[in-house]
């Protein structure tokens, strides 16, 4: 029933996107106020119904972003798309990607067409109107039945071994959700953005310059640049394993690669999640900031993050960063 309820609430999110002239949009806008062309979340004043809707809209951690991941804006003439806050470039709103610039922007609710007129880009050739797309069904748009199917297959039916490994008490929740999306191939990788029609098919190459299409499997496992991180991580920990064909198998196999004890598994589970998190962050830094870290710098980040996550949740761990750096298994008394 929970999924059905979410699917119904999702219908409201969809309606508020596609029907901005509608009565409900105006009523809610008047009650909670507007910001950047969207209705404010209302903070504590919001009714619980409205809180649920904004949580789905924002893709709060508990909802896993199932709504936001599946909608995108197709820009026609740009007159009905908000430049900063609508996800019209690669599925990510510009205000998230260029936060500092957004803070400096005088007008936060300009449309794409208005910004183009001000010289922010080439004026669109396209004379069709802008419209929201629901990725699972681009023609019909959002339906409660369709969303219910997505939610039920996402949440329970396909919960396999790999997905049970995501929930780890020492891993930040946002990272668990990131891995959850990765295992379902729902990250905005370039290959996925091309499939969704958000990115042009010629812009699909891996940011490392390796010359291969950026799929999740490529980025996290087989890329000659990012994939080489696994070898460094294995030699740091002192384990050996091969890279299996799917991301899921990789996760499961890595977790069990040091043998069977529960503590070892839990540790390797955490390391795997740190590792993919670091790769994704690096990929975004390269793509959006133009900054690049070497494999050894990335390994340092993995060491640092895992140390912090473990330390922050278990006060009894009595090792220092130096010994963690050189021999983590020994620190955890796993050898």
Give whichever of 129 and 224 is closer to Zn ion, judged by the CB atom: 224
Residue 217 CB, nearest distance to Zn ion (Å)? 11
Residue 232 CB, nearest distance to Zn ion (Å)? 16
Of 208, 255, 269, 306, which lies in the binding site for Zn ion, with binding defined by CB under 5 A?
208
Beta-carbon contacts of residue 73 (< 8 Å; ≥ 6 apart): 81, 86, 87, 88, 130, 131, 132, 133
Residue 134, SS3 per DSSP: strand
CA distance 59 to 61: 6
CA distance 299 to 126: 46
CA distance 175 to 168: 10
Give whichever of 85 and 208 is closer to Zn ion, judged by the CB atom: 208
Beta-carbon contacts of residue 2 (< 8 Å; ≥ 6 apart): none
Residue 283 CB, nearest distance to Zn ion (Å)? 9
Contact flags string 210-239 toward Zn ion, x per CB under 5 A: x------------x----------------
Nearest to 127 by CA among 196, 79, 91, 82: 79
Residue 290 CB, nearest distance to Zn ion (Å)? 17
CA distance 133 to 196: 9
Give whichever of 206 and 331 is closer to Zn ion, judged by the CB atom: 206
CA distance 250 to 106: 47
Give whichever of 82 and 223 is closer to Zn ion, judged by the CB atom: 223
Residue 213 CB, nearest distance to Zn ion (Å)? 9
Residue 148 CB, nearest distance to Zn ion (Å)? 37
Give whichever of 184 and 286 is closer to Zn ion, judged by the CB atom: 286
Residue 13 CB, nearest distance to Zn ion (Å)? 35
Give whichever of 158 and 294 is closer to Zn ion, judged by the CB atom: 294
With vertex at residue 224, the alpha carbon angle to CA 223 and CA 228, rounded to the nearest 5 degrees, is: 95
Residue 34 CB, nearest distance to Zn ion (Å)? 42
- For the chain, the farthest-separated pair of C-alpha atoms sits apart, in whole angstroms, at 66
The tokens describing 1, both together, are 């029933």
Residue 89 CB, nearest distance to Zn ion (Å)? 22
Stretch that binds Zn ion, among 77-85, 201-209, 265-273, 294-302 (CB under 5 A): 201-209
Give whichever of 266 and 295 is closer to Zn ion, judged by the CB atom: 295
Burial group, residue 233, by CB count within 10 angstroms (0-12, 13-18, 19+): buried
Stretch that binds Zn ion, among 11-19, 35-43, 198-206, 306-314 (CB under 5 A): 198-206
Helix or strand run (H / E) with residue 10: helix 2-18
Q: If you search the block for the tokens 């191939």, which residue do you land on?
A: 185
Of 13, 53, 198, 206, which lies in the binding site for Zn ion, with binding defined by CB under 5 A?
206
Give whichever of 53 and 278 is closer to Zn ion, judged by the CB atom: 278
By CB under 5 A, how many residues form the interface with Zn ion? 4
Nearest to 184 by CA among 61, 64, 55: 64
Stretch that binds Zn ion, among 7-15, 208-216, 228-236, 251-259 (CB under 5 A): 208-216
Stretch that binds Zn ion, among 108-116, 180-188, 209-217, 315-323 (CB under 5 A): 209-217
Give whichever of 223 and 275 is closer to Zn ion, judged by the CB atom: 223
Burial group, residue 255, by CB count within 10 angstroms (0-12, 13-18, 19+): buried
Positions 51 through 80 that interact with Zn ion (CB under 5 A): none
Residues that bind Zn ion (CB under 5 A): 206, 208, 210, 223
């Amino acid at each position: 029933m929970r999924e059905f309820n979410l699917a119904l609430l999702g219908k409201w999110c969809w309606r508020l996107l596609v029907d901005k002239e509608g009565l409900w949009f105006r009523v809610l806008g008047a009650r909670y106020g507007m910001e950047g062309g969207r209705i404010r979340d209302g903070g504590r004043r919001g009714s619980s119904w409205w809180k649920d809707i904004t949580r789905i809209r924002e893709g709060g951690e508990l909802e896993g972003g199932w709504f936001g991941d599946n909608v995108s804006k197709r820009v026609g003439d740009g007159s009905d798309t908000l430049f900063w806050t609508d996800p019209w470039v690669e599925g990510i709103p510009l205000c998230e990607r260029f936060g500092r610039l957004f803070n400096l922007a005088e007008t936060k609710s300009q449309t794409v067409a208005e910004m183009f007129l001000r010289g922010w880009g080439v004026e669109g050739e396209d004379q069709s109107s802008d419209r929201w797309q629901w990725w699972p069904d681009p023609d019909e748009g959002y339906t409660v039945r369709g969303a219910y199917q997505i939610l039920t297959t996402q949440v329970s039916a396909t919960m396999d071994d790999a997905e049970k490994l995501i929930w780890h008490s020492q891993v930040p929740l946002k990272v668990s959700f990131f891995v959850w999306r990765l295992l379902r191939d729902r990250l905005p990788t370039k290959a996925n953005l091309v499939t969704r029609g958000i990115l042009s098919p010629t812009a699909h190459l891996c940011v490392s310059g390796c010359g291969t299409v950026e799929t999740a499997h490529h980025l996290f496992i087989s890329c000659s640049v990012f994939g080489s991180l696994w070898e460094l991580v294995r030699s740091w920990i002192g384990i050996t394993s091969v890279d299996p064909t799917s991301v899921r198998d990789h996760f499961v196999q890595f977790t069990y690669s040091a043998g069977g004890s529960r503590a070892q598994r839990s540790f390797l589970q955490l390391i795997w999640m740190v590792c993919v998190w670091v790769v994704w962050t690096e990929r975004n830094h390269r793509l959006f900031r133009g900054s690049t870290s070497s494999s050894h710098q990335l390994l340092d980040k993995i060491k640092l993050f895992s140390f912090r996550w473990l330390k922050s949740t278990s006060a009894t761990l009595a090792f220092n960063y130096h010994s963690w750096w050189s021999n983590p298994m020994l620190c955890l008394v796993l050898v």
